Amino acid sequence: MSTPASSDVSLERAPDGEERVRVGRYSLFTRLNHWTLALSFVLLALSGMALFYPTFFGLTVLFGGGQNTRWVHPIIGCVLLLAWLVMFLRYAHHNLPDGTDIAWLRNIGAVLRGNEDEVPEVGRYNAGQKLVFWAFGVLVPGLFLTGVVIWDQYFYDWTSIPQKRIAVLAHAVMAIGMITVWITHAYAAVWVRGTIQAMTRGYVSGGWAFRHHRKWLRDLVSGRRTPAAPTTPAE
């Protein structure tokens, strides 16, 4: 069997001696950025809940107490914003709506049943992944901006008390939305077998790519499109 034209599609020999197709999906840099984003979010969620409601105040022990939690929470938020900005700039053009998205959403039942042959061939990302991407695209900057308004250590004099009250409410509502989107994203990654491997090893199997993102695989093999995140020497 010959190696496909794209450098992102290669062959590997399995332990049983059989050759299998391996498709590169994410570079080392992209994976490190993704896990920085994920870890930052988890820490923000835990520290934010600790500051938001007395029942969760015990979580402040993870950050060295209440005062440390109050100090570190916005700092982690800045890290999250930077990691998100890198991801947004690299992948926004891959998440623009196209003609297959409506059909994919209309047939979401077939997708959930594992029968993706009933929906159009999908490119690098399906409609569900695009919705998650753009939800983060709205919520992350929204959380950051409202967070700055209530970051009294540095920006107390910038806004009035009524503005801070509105910002606190908006920040809490968006945080709940962010946690909901994150749980959905994490569940989908676990539910679709083989997906997590893309963000841990950087590649997926040829079967996974053919089943879930057939158009993307066809484009890679034919060389019609370059990969979104080319491999780096570190890989």
Enumerate the β-bridge partners of residue 20.
12
Q: Is 70 exposed, middle or buried (0-12, 13-18, 19+ CB in 10 A)?
A: middle
Query: Amino acid identity of 104?
Result: W
What gap in Å lies between CA 196 and CA 188, rounded to an integer? 10
Per the annotation, the verdict on 73 as an active-site residue is: no
DSSP 2: P
Residue-wise DSSP of 59-98? GGGGGTSHHHHHHHHHHHHHHHHHHHHHHHHHHGGGGS--
Residue 52, both tokens: 């938001």
Within 92-213, where are the H helices?
100-106, 108-112, 127-149, 152-155, 161-191, 195-200, 206-212
Residue 229, both tokens: 């995140």
231: left (phi over 0), alpha (psi -120 to 50) or beta: beta
Catalytic residue among 94, 185, 212, 213: 185
Within 192-223, where are the H helices?
195-200, 206-212, 214-222
User: Active-site positions?
Assistant: 185
